[in-house]
Amino acid sequence: MLKKDLKSGMVVRTNNNIYYMVLIDTGMETSEYSDKDVLLAIDRKGNIGHDGWMSLFAYNEKLECEHNEWSIAEVFSVRCAADIGRIVRYRSIWKRQDN
Protein backbone atom coordinates (compact mmCIF):
# COMPACT_ATOMS: atom_id res chain seq x y z
CA MET A 1 0.00 0.00 0.00
CA LEU A 2 1.17 3.53 -0.75
CA LYS A 3 0.37 6.82 0.95
CA LYS A 4 -1.76 7.85 -2.04
CA ASP A 5 -3.99 4.81 -1.36
CA LEU A 6 -5.01 6.05 2.10
CA LYS A 7 -8.57 7.34 2.36
CA SER A 8 -10.40 9.33 5.01
CA GLY A 9 -11.99 7.06 7.58
CA MET A 10 -9.32 4.36 7.38
CA VAL A 11 -7.43 3.44 10.54
CA VAL A 12 -3.69 2.78 10.68
CA ARG A 13 -1.47 1.11 13.28
CA THR A 14 2.08 2.32 13.71
CA ASN A 15 5.05 0.16 14.67
CA ASN A 16 4.67 1.31 18.29
CA ASN A 17 1.08 -0.06 18.30
CA ILE A 18 -0.72 3.28 18.35
CA TYR A 19 -3.85 3.52 16.23
CA TYR A 20 -4.83 6.59 14.18
CA MET A 21 -7.79 7.56 12.00
CA VAL A 22 -6.84 8.92 8.58
CA LEU A 23 -8.27 12.28 7.49
CA ILE A 24 -7.40 13.38 3.94
CA ASP A 25 -7.93 16.89 2.58
CA THR A 26 -9.27 18.44 5.78
CA GLY A 27 -9.27 21.92 4.26
CA MET A 28 -7.10 23.17 7.10
CA GLU A 29 -3.94 25.16 6.57
CA THR A 30 -0.54 23.69 7.40
CA SER A 31 0.79 24.91 10.75
CA GLU A 32 2.29 23.42 13.87
CA TYR A 33 -1.28 22.74 15.05
CA SER A 34 -2.95 21.42 11.89
CA ASP A 35 -2.41 20.17 8.36
CA LYS A 36 -4.32 19.17 5.25
CA ASP A 37 -3.77 15.40 5.64
CA VAL A 38 -3.59 14.08 9.21
CA LEU A 39 -3.70 11.04 11.47
CA LEU A 40 -5.84 11.46 14.62
CA ALA A 41 -4.86 9.26 17.56
CA ILE A 42 -7.37 6.74 18.87
CA ASP A 43 -7.17 6.06 22.60
CA ARG A 44 -7.67 2.68 24.29
CA LYS A 45 -11.40 3.36 24.71
CA GLY A 46 -11.81 4.04 20.99
CA ASN A 47 -12.10 7.83 21.30
CA ILE A 48 -10.72 9.53 18.20
CA GLY A 49 -8.47 12.59 18.35
CA HIS A 50 -8.14 13.00 22.09
CA ASP A 51 -4.57 11.67 22.31
CA GLY A 52 -2.97 13.79 19.60
CA TRP A 53 -2.37 13.84 15.88
CA MET A 54 0.37 13.60 13.26
CA SER A 55 0.75 15.07 9.80
CA LEU A 56 0.91 12.65 6.88
CA PHE A 57 3.60 14.96 5.48
CA ALA A 58 6.03 13.11 7.81
CA TYR A 59 5.54 9.88 5.78
CA ASN A 60 7.05 8.83 2.48
CA GLU A 61 5.05 7.03 -0.21
CA LYS A 62 5.80 3.64 1.42
CA LEU A 63 4.16 4.82 4.67
CA GLU A 64 7.54 5.02 6.39
CA CYS A 65 8.49 7.74 8.84
CA GLU A 66 11.99 8.97 9.66
CA HIS A 67 11.53 7.49 13.13
CA ASN A 68 10.67 3.83 12.47
CA GLU A 69 8.43 3.46 15.53
CA TRP A 70 5.95 5.83 13.81
CA SER A 71 6.02 4.02 10.43
CA ILE A 72 2.67 2.54 9.46
CA ALA A 73 2.57 -1.22 10.00
CA GLU A 74 -1.07 -2.00 9.20
CA VAL A 75 -4.10 -0.39 7.56
CA PHE A 76 -7.74 -1.09 8.46
CA SER A 77 -10.99 -0.18 6.73
CA VAL A 78 -14.74 -0.72 6.95
CA ARG A 79 -17.13 -1.93 4.25
CA CYS A 80 -19.69 0.86 4.48
CA ALA A 81 -19.75 4.54 5.47
CA ALA A 82 -22.14 3.90 8.37
CA ASP A 83 -19.36 1.96 10.14
CA ILE A 84 -16.71 4.71 9.99
CA GLY A 85 -15.56 5.40 13.53
CA ARG A 86 -17.05 2.16 14.92
CA ILE A 87 -13.65 0.68 15.71
CA VAL A 88 -14.94 -2.89 16.23
CA ARG A 89 -16.13 -2.91 12.59
CA TYR A 90 -12.69 -2.30 11.08
CA ARG A 91 -10.81 -5.13 9.35
CA SER A 92 -7.17 -5.28 8.27
CA ILE A 93 -6.71 -4.64 4.55
CA TRP A 94 -2.90 -4.35 4.45
CA LYS A 95 -0.01 -5.35 6.70
CA ARG A 96 3.67 -4.50 6.20
CA GLN A 97 5.56 -7.67 5.37
CA ASP A 98 9.00 -6.50 6.56
CA ASN A 99 7.98 -6.18 10.26
What's residue 34's pLDDT?
A: 76
Q: What is the pTM of this model?
A: 0.90
What's residue 36's pLDDT?
A: 87
What's residue 46's pLDDT?
A: 83
What's residue 35's pLDDT?
A: 84
What's residue 16's pLDDT?
A: 95
Helix (H, G, I), strand (E, B) or coil at 83: helix
8 Å CB contact between 74 and 15: no
Q: Please measure the distance between the N-terminal and C-terminal CA atoms of the chain and give it in whole angstroms.
A: 14
User: Which residue pairs, CB below 8 angstroms and at least 24 apart, start in 24-32?
Assistant: 24/56, 30/55, 30/57
Which residues of the chain register pLDDT less than 50?
none
What's residue 96's pLDDT?
A: 96
